[in-house]
Structure 1
Amino acid sequence: MKKKEKMIIEAGMKLFASKGYNTTSVQEIADECHMSKGAFYLYFKSKEALLISILHYYYDKVFTRIHEVQTEGGTPKEAYRKQLTVYYDNILQQKDFIKMQLSDRALPLNEETQQLAKQIRLATIQLHIDNIKQVYGDAAIPYMADLCLTIEGMSHVYFELAILYDFQLEAEELAATMIHRIDDLMGGMMRRNDHPLISVDQASDWFGPIYERSFDPLTESLLKELRELAEAHYEVKDEPDLFEALGILENELNKQKPRQVIVKGMLYQLKLYTPLQPVSGSLLRILKEDHL
């Protein structure tokens, strides 16, 4: 990201949080950055485009930090608590910005924002999935969906109190509390041999891949490269079929038992797009060798 682009993003977020999205003008953002209004438009085509870029920027920032925390050592449970602390602290630091979005209803409801919301939701769920598996092992697999939805539901209520009612909430304290609640939930469900309300595959169909990734690192790397190529060469609004096929492929490959006909069908669909042909072909060869 260019230095001036980052400066505009940070200035925009500051002004949106303090003044509100609707009452902040592009000229005010440009003034905050000591640049002309015309210079602003060299980086962002509109105020709406800036808002969406802000969300992308802070999403990338927090999950990069979470990834760094993963490598800092300690027990799996300590690592989970540290990652939750980073995630929760980011939300609490942006309380005013979040409140602005709720009051101004600033975020447009379109294909791009829906895709971003899905991306953030899936990354958050995957954060829980990866850590629950590390902490509790294979015994947790049947309860993954129920646990993720319960964890997100509980934390959502705490954030609502903090954002809307100024409840004083500390990220470290909330993370420690959530770890204890997860212990309680997991222990109780395993002890009673509960039947989960929602299966992992049901949740995957609704929300996207909610399962420990079952494929190898090379396949995962190629799938990520496929997504990056698609986003670099095409817009969701221009090629909705491409992004729908990519989403279906990602979802299917993250299931416990991917369906061969769907995986191959989506890969052949993606091969119709020239920039995606080499990676799509590589994935097809790997999956054939693995007898998916």
Structure 2
Amino acid sequence: MNKKKEKIIEVSMKLFAEKGFHATSISEIARTANVSKGAFYLYFESKDDLLISIFEFYTRVIIEKLEKVIDTESDPFKQFERQLEEIMTLFRDHKEYLLMHFRDNIHIGDKMDGLVAKVHKQTFDWTTERVLAMYGDKVKPYIVDVTIQLDGLVGSYFKWIAIHKLEFDPKYLAKNILQQFDILVQKQIEANEEPLFHIQTLQFDCSNVHTQLEKIRTKIKRSNLENKLELLDAVIVIEEELQKMHPKMIIVYSMIEKLEQEEAIATQIKSIIQKIEERGQY
């Protein structure tokens, strides 16, 4: 990411945490970041667009950190503990991100709602993968229940840390959360009772554009295509453009055209075009 754009993001998070999203002006963000107001609009179309960029930026940072752990740890329990530690470390070092969410009740429409839904699905997929790796098929019936419980554990700690500005050791907290989570999972497996919720009752929109793009990204990563990096860049450009308040469709379709040339993903790309045209909001 451009250094100046990253600086604006960091400054705006601190201001949003201190003063609130609605009380912070673009002029104040630009002045504090030591950039002109015009420079702000080079990177962001509005304050809402900035908020979406913050959400997207830190989501991507978290995903990258989680993926790196898998490359360095083979034991599933150690992987999970290390991934939790990475998440805790990120939030310790960027408390402004937490405070920003607790400071104001922010709602900016379908774009952010779509991103939140996308991250919610990614979180569920990540938890499912980790839990199955640790406990095997015996935990499958309880996968929704244990995901909710883990979300509750982590989310509650984040909430108290943010509100009370608590100091903590990410490594120790991650280990403690894993221990509590392990007790919850083991008790449910041993009790062998009917789960509270089943995966079939969840209402993930697996047809939305961002979910389809994520599937294409995964397929490209696992492929042996020579131009893999170029194709992944094209997917990122599409994602970033569609997240803007007023995306430039000429950019989106030029990237789609590049992806369409690969037979391995051509069918999925046609589906993306159809979804974009159906929604009509772009």
Instruction: Describe the SS at the equivalent of 2:72.
Output: coil
Is the contact made by 1:26 and 1:37 (CA closer than 8 Å) also made in structure 2? yes
> Structure 2 unaligned runs (5+)?
208-214, 222-230, 248-255, 271-282
In 1, Cα distance between the equivalents of 2:41 and 2:237? 25
Give, as a single letter, the amino acid of the residue that structure 2 aligns with 1:281. Answer: T
**CA deviation digits over 1:30-65, x for unaligned, max 9?**
223332211211111112211221111111112111
Aligned pairs, number: 242
Change (3 A) 1:155 1:208: farther
Which residue identity is paired with 2:114? Q
Structure-2 change in CA distance of 1:153 and 1:71 (3 Å): same
Aligned pairs for 1:258-273 within 5 A: none
Higher mean displacement: 36-45 or 187-196: 187-196
Q: Which runs of 5+ in 1 are unaligned?
A: 210-216, 240-272, 285-292
- In the alignment, what sits opposite 1:251? none
Taking the aligned partners of 1:236 and 1:47, their CA distance within structure 2 comes to 11
Following superposition, the deviation at residue 129 of structure 1 comes to 1.3
CA distance in 1, matches of 2:169, 2:108: 31
Aligned twin of 2:104: 104
- Deviations, residues 134-159 of structure 1 (Å, cap 9, x unaligned): 11122222221111011111222222
- In the other structure, the counterpart of 1:145 is 144
Partner of 2:195: 196
Q: Which residue of 2 aligns with 1:93?
A: 93
- Report the TM-score, using the length of structure 2 for normalisation: 0.72
- Superposition RMSD on alpha carbons, in Å? 3.4
Aligned partner (choices 247, 267, 279) of residue 281 of structure 1: 267
Query: What does 1:1-292 correspond to in 2, within 5 Å?
Result: 1-105=1-105, 107-203=106-202, 205-206=203-204, 220-221=218-219, 231=239, 234=242, 279-281=265-267
Higher relative contact order (CA closer than 8 Å, sequence separation 6+): 2
Matches of 1:37 and 1:236, distance apart in 2: 19
Percent identity of the aligned residues?
Answer: 26
Distance 1:236 1:73, change over 3 A: same
Question: Post-superposition shift, 1:275?
Answer: 7.8
Following superposition, the deviation at residue 99 of structure 1 comes to: 2.5
Give the Cα separation in 2 of the matches to 1:159 and 1:74.
28
Q: TM-score, normalised by structure 1?
A: 0.70
